[in-house]
């Protein structure tokens, strides 16, 4: 494998996140529409059947590839719906289709014969014979199960050298094998089907133990008065193991998170882009600093999962269910005046005199908030969440259009 062609693949939950992901370093993005994707977005500039072609064209304009997810587990009615829409998918010209169902595979092969097929991690591909099977069927890439140790990926590469391999390196993990989850369906009486893009995330809920002969008596599973999150794995973070993954033969390094925030997508893309580029220019590079950078985005604590051939008890988050960011996303830039003040949308409260960190696709530096002016033109001391204000900083970004401001340092609750 040519190391120079290792791909960084980021999620595109909506049109805005698609652009930020690419500008912050993604070589490719993956995206989907409701009814055919395992993640259903509920807000923002959603990607729909009507703007799918626009989204993919935008990725191409920015020099990136766009992969379309059709990776639901399809029932008969899903197959009929797909047949009704497959020509529209073809017209959008994705660089590949990500799928997991044999029926979907057949339809894509029939109506989109020249489009690459990437086999989803939902197929739980764990061995080289499975990879050979998908290759012989016509797939150009296999997205490997998260349960694979790096040494097993290397063995797959040795056995099957002529197919692309993709591996997750960052983001949330499901307790079920590669996310093939039925708990959400069960706990919501079928209203929130995980494998149809509407997971209610029961892995993150708090649980207590009941013994069936003692109804109504609830027991703590561990010493935590809030219950326990025994089903909730910590988030995957393999930024320090990029060298081993590349050497094992992985072609694409994938980040999870189509429902994550704009800040998450941007900051994670920036960290992994920098880590990959540094390793490519210096094989002895110390990548630990990028782990610190990734502590600044939302996470449930980090783990290496199964990558090192083990899955220890501390791979699970027993105390938190919601991802907590080590740094707060403070504001998003929206405009600029000639005197160097910026119109910003405040995401978390900011004060005059605060020292903040600003990241852009090309920069990362600290600055001080020197002045805050409200919409009436009055100078104020505090900018509250969701306010639109004008702000003067001690240092300005070279390109403010995609700049993000956050707090400095890493909070203690993230580990």
55-78 tens-digit pLDDT: 999 999 999 999 999 988 889 999
277 has a pLDDT exceeding 90: yes
Between the CA of residue 105 and those of 84, 109, 125, 372, what are the distances in Å?
Answer: 15, 6, 16, 55
Residue 282: per-residue pLDDT: 95
- As a whole number of angstroms, the distance between CA 75 and CA 103 comes to 9
CA dist., res. 314 & res. 234, Å (int)? 8
Mean pLDDT of 84-104: 97
Domains defined for the chain, CATH in brackets: 3-177+232-315 (3.20.20.70), 329-406 (2.40.30.10)
Q: Quote the pLDDT of residue 258.
A: 84
Mean pLDDT of the chain: 88
pLDDT for the residue numbered 339: 87
Q: Is residue 222 over pLDDT 60? A: no
What is the number of other CB atoms lying within 10 angstroms of the CB of residue 188?
A: 15
In the predicted structure, residue 40 carries a pLDDT above the cut 60: no
pLDDT at 225: 46
pLDDT at 199 over 60: yes
Return the structure tokens found at 55.
């989204």
Q: Model confidence over 320-356: pLDDT tens digits?
A: 555 577 899 999 999 998 788 999 999 999 999 999 9
Contacts of 52 by beta carbon, 8 Å cutoff, 6+ apart: 31, 33, 68, 88, 89, 92
Report whether 228 contacts 207 (CB < 8 A): yes
Is 177 or 253 the better-scoring residue by pLDDT? 253
pLDDT for residue 208 is more than 80: no
For 187, the token pair is 């706990």
Residue 290, both tokens: 């990028």
Confidence band of 415 (pLDDT split at 50, 70, 90): very low
- In this prediction, residue 322 carries a pLDDT of 56
Separation of alpha carbons 357 and 10, rounded Å: 23
Q: How far apart (Å, rounded) are the C-alpha atoms in residues 356 and 367?
A: 5
Mean pLDDT confidence for 243-268: 95
Place of tokens 């960290």: 271
Provide mean pLDDT across the span 302-320. 74
> For 362-378, what is each residue's pLDDT tens digit?
999 999 999 999 999 99
> Could you tell me if 346 and 384 are in contact, meaning their C-beta atoms sit under 8 angstroms apart?
yes
- CB-count burial class (<10 Å; 0-12, 13-18, 19+) for 374: middle
- pTM of the predicted structure, to 2 decimals: 0.88
The Cα–Cα gap between 124 and 122 comes to 5
Point out the least confidently predicted range of 118-127, 144-153, 222-231: 222-231
Give dist(CA 368, CA 381) in Å, integer. 13
Q: What pLDDT band is residue 414 in, cutting at 50, 70 and 90? A: very low
pLDDT digits 0-9 by tens, 167-188: 999 998 876 666 666 677 767 7
Q: Mark out the alpha helices in 178-233 (DSSP H runs).
A: 183-187
- Distance CA(275)–CA(284), nearest Å, equals 12
């Amino acid at each position: 494998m040519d190391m120079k062609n290792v791909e960084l693949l980021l999620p595109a939950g909506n049109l805005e996140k698609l652009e930020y992901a690419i500008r912050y370093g993604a070589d490719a993005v993956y995206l989907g529409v409701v009814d055919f994707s395992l993640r259903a977005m509920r807000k923002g500039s959603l990607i729909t059947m009507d703007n799918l072609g626009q989204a993919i064209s935008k990725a191409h304009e920015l020099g990136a590839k766009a992969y379309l997810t059709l990776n639901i587990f399809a029932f008969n009615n899903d197959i009929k719906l797909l047949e009704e829409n497959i020509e529209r998918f073809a017209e959008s010209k994705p660089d590949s289709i990500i799928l997991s169902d044999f029926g979907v595979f057949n339809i894509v092969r029939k109506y989109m014969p020249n489009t690459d097929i990437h086999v989803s991690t939902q197929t739980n591909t764990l061995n080289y014979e499975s990879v050979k099977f998908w290759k012989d069927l016509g797939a150009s890439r296999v997205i490997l199960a998260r349960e694979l140790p790096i040494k097993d990926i290397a063995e797959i590469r040795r056995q099957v050298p002529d197919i692309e391999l993709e591996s997750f390196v960052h983001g949330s993990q499901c307790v079920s094998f590669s996310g093939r989850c039925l708990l959400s369906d069960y706990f919501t009486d079928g209203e929130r089907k995980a494998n149809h893009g509407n997971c209610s995330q029961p892995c993150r809920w708090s649980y207590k133990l009941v013994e069936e002969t003692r109804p109504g008596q609830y027991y703590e599973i561990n010493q935590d008065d809030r219950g326990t999150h025994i089903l909730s794995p910590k988030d995957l973070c393999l930024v320090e193991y990029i060298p081993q993954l590349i050497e094992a033969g992985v072609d694409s390094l994938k980040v999870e998170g189509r429902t994550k925030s704009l800040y998450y997508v941007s900051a994670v893309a920036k960290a992994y882009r920098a880590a990959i580029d540094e390793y490519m220019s210096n094989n002895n590079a110390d990548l630990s600093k990028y782990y610190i950078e990734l502590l600044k985005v939302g996470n449930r604590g980090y783990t290496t999962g199964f990558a090192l051939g083990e899955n220890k008890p501390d791979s699970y988050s027993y105390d938190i269910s919601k991802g907590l960011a080590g740094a707060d996303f403070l504001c998003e830039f929206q405009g600029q005046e000639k005197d160097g003040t910026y119109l910003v949308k405040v995401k978390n409260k900011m004060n005059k005199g605060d020292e903040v960190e600003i990241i852009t696709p090309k920069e990362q530096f600290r600055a001080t908030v020197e002045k805050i002016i409200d919409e009436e033109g009055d100078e104020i001391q505090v900018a509250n969440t969701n306010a639109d204000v004008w702000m003067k900083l001690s240092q300005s970004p070279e390109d403010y259009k995609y700049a993000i401001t956050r707090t400095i340092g890493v909070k203690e609750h993230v580990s």
